Structure 1
Amino acid sequence: MKNVLVFITDGFADWEASYVTAELNKPGSGYQVKTIAIDSLPKTSMGGLNVIPEYSLQDFSFELPFEMLIIPGGTGWKEEKNQQIKKLVEFCFENDIPVAAICDATTFLGNHGFLNQHKHTGNSLPYLKEEAPNYEGNKNYIDEQSVSDGCLITANGSGAVEFSRDILNKLNVLEGEELREWYELFKKGFIKS
């Protein structure tokens, strides 16, 4: 089984990665989802779910093979302590391991320069400029729900389904017509309005 890491903080937006983690953990996908946090203490999501991280940045072995790092948004990105993930993100970019960030996790990436050389999106360009004072990626900003560019996938906070679609495509879990049908089902439902 190939590992996909999901970075969690206190106040992580549990719904933003829920579509994709459910698909990745299905039998036959070839993937398993593992959680990582700054430490090994339980983290409580915005929805009140308590999660005990499987890995801690304090003792994480960069020898562990993983195929992608998924970073949900949430209220924890305003806390300085969560900026420690920068080291793991740098490792991913240096080793061509895809990083997928949504909502305020894109703001974190923007503030640390990870968006400057890639096409990307976020909650909005004005929001990125205001909340990420070191952001300099204006020329690569695309006003879309989710943007995939090389080893980077970004999405705004209302783009969880598009974000999941782009991750499933990048990891070759679903492709072509099967991916289109999956997206249509979760975007529009069984009953069309």
Structure 2
Amino acid sequence: MKKTVHVGIYDTMADWETGHATAHLRSGRFHREPGGYELVTVALTAEPITTMGGLRVTPDLTLDRLDPAGSALLILAGADLWDQGDELAPFARKAREFLDAGVPVAAICGATAGLAREGLLDDRDHTSAVVHYLAAQDGYAGAGRYLDEDAVTGGDLITAGPTEPVAFAREILRRLDVCRPDVLDAWFRLHSRSDASAYEVLMTA
């Protein structure tokens, strides 16, 4: 039976930030176990959303029905809405539910600001665009745990800045133990650096 990964979707969602992670999770390619993951999109309402790239997406599930017990991971992408008020705050509160239940959460770009306002970064290693971006968020007191890295896993929380969708995917795949370490390293070298030597590892995986 496939494990389920939930992906938060909302208007102005930065659709490119999660593409490497979701495509690899769904494909099952190079996975330790065959079959891949089922991806379920989650929105505030049942109405379609429009991503920053103009894609219209109909959600599979509403946020109020999302139970961490039925999930392997919650992914939250950036969006203009994270910086324009509290409309997406329910996703940050749901992230708290996931973390309290011991279920991983992965947030990139503006979603890290939403988690900062919820206080979820204060006691966990994390990253974002720059520390000053998070420092401007009400409620953030985690500057001492900020790491200037491409992506960071702090326990059950994965974070990355807006320019690091491949590193974000790497941390997700590592946290879920999707691939052998040598395969994951080769996958990352290929997609982040166009390292042709990675092909040999991937073709024999």
Q: Pick the TM interval, shorter chain.
A: over 0.9
Q: What residue ranges of structure 1 are gaps of 5+ in the alignment?
A: none
> Do the aligned partners of 2:68 and 2:98 also contact (CA within 8 Å) in 1?
no
Query: Which secondary structure state, in structure 1, belongs to the residue aligned with residue 27 of structure 2?
Result: coil
Structure 2 residue 101 is matched with structure 1 residue 95: yes
Aligned: 1:32 with 2:33: no
The answer for the alignment partner of 2:90 in structure 1 is 84
Provide the residue aligned with 2:116 in structure 1.
Answer: 110
Identity, % of aligned pairs?
A: 34
Contact 1:23 / 1:29 at 8 angstroms: preserved in 2? no
Aligned length: 190
**Rounded Cα–Cα distance in structure 1 between residues aligned with 2:74 and 2:141:** 23
Letter in 2 for 1:150: G
- Cα deviation, 1:77-117, whole Å, max 9, x if unaligned, reads 12422111233112101110000000000010011100001
1:133 aligns with 2:134: no
Q: Secondary structure at the match of 1:80?
A: coil
Corresponding residue number in structure 2 for 1:172: 177
Are residues 83 and 152 of structure 1, via their aligned partners in 2, closer, same or farther at CA, if it must alter by over 3 Å? Answer: same
Deviation for aligned residue 1:39: 0.8
The answer (yes or no) to whether the contact 2:68–2:97 under 8 Å persists in 1 is no
Shift of 1:76: 2.0
CA deviation vs aligned residue, 1:158-192 (integer Å, no higher than 9, x gap): 11110000000111112311001100111012669
Report if the CA contact (8 A) 1:29-1:173 is conserved. no
Does residue 70 of the first structure (1) align with residue 75 of the second (2)?
yes
Among 158, 161, 175, the alignment partner of 1:156 is 161
Distance 1:61 1:20 in 2: 20
1:8-19, aligned counterparts within 5 Å? Answer: 8-19=9-20
Distance 1:179 1:63, change over 3 A: closer
CA RMSD of aligned residues (A): 1.6
Change (3 A) 1:141 1:51: same
Q: Distance in 1 between matches of 2:158 and 2:189?
A: 20
Mapped to 2, the partners of 1:34 and 1:3 lie a distance apart of 7
Question: What is the CA distance between 1:64 and its match in structure 2?
Answer: 5.7
- The 3-state SS of whatever aligns with 1:5 is strand
Amino acid corresponding to residue 17 of structure 1 in structure 2: T
Instruction: Determine if contact 2:43/2:62 at 8 Å carries over to the other structure.
Output: yes
Q: Work out whether 1:122 is the aligned partner of 2:123.
A: no
| AA partner of residue 13 (structure 2) | F
The one-letter code of the counterpart of 1:22 is: A
Answering whether residue 47 of structure 2 is matched by residue 46 of structure 1, we say no
CA separation of 1:184 and 1:61: change in aligned 2, threshold 3 A: closer
TM-score after normalising by structure 2: 0.88
